[in-house]
Structure 1
């Protein structure tokens, strides 16, 4: 009886060893994300929808700086920045940052985005956070200065948010 059981076990193991192996895992080419509603678009300045903001922020848009896990502000799309009076902030953009269409991001793009965010005619869901912005000045392709109407303690946090 033991010999018969041992023979059956050996036969089963041999059959398993001869079985074809699973195909190697393939790298997925897309990411599927579940959201409660279809956003009407991905431009947060054209629609106040929180669904649009939830999808667009950090998935489609990024900030000039980021806040790391320790709460420190660190370079992101801007490689560095400075201010001497807490009312005028100059950002030096990282070279080689590309949009999804392959075009390189320039200071004029930052100006365009900020001008839209502060424009009262747009429906930017967080426009009030840009209320202190007075002007956006393009210095060259990779340098932009944001002039504030007044000192705003939250300004750099606003620059850290996408959109």
Structure 2
């Protein structure tokens, strides 16, 4: 009977296994034959496909320059956010095709895709982008309209008589 391990000793053995299993996973860069990293980003109903490659910082969206496609400075700031956080502004050329939703949703989708593509190109950038929520797909979408309602939740005007 004295040879059996106490429950506390069993847990100590399991704790030792946990440290070996929780070691950081080494990620390999995902770069194609042309030296580009590809990623897809989504926001609302917008889907963005982005390729990044080393360059001088030119951002092209649907064949147009970012200043032309996203006229509002706030949207251009959103797109540049992952590049600025990682100190890679001016080091990568970004080519994006985006469709669906409105301009704000498209900017969010491009930002998500650029963040993912940066982590594919340089896996070491993941700890920088993750705390800022740039690698998380924002799940909020427009609620559908229900029958018997004017909109998703708005009722028709009440008439007493």
TM-score (norm 1): 0.25
Pick the structure with more helix per residue: 2
Structure of greater relative contact order (alpha carbons < 8 Å, 6+ residues apart): 2
TM-score (norm 2): 0.25
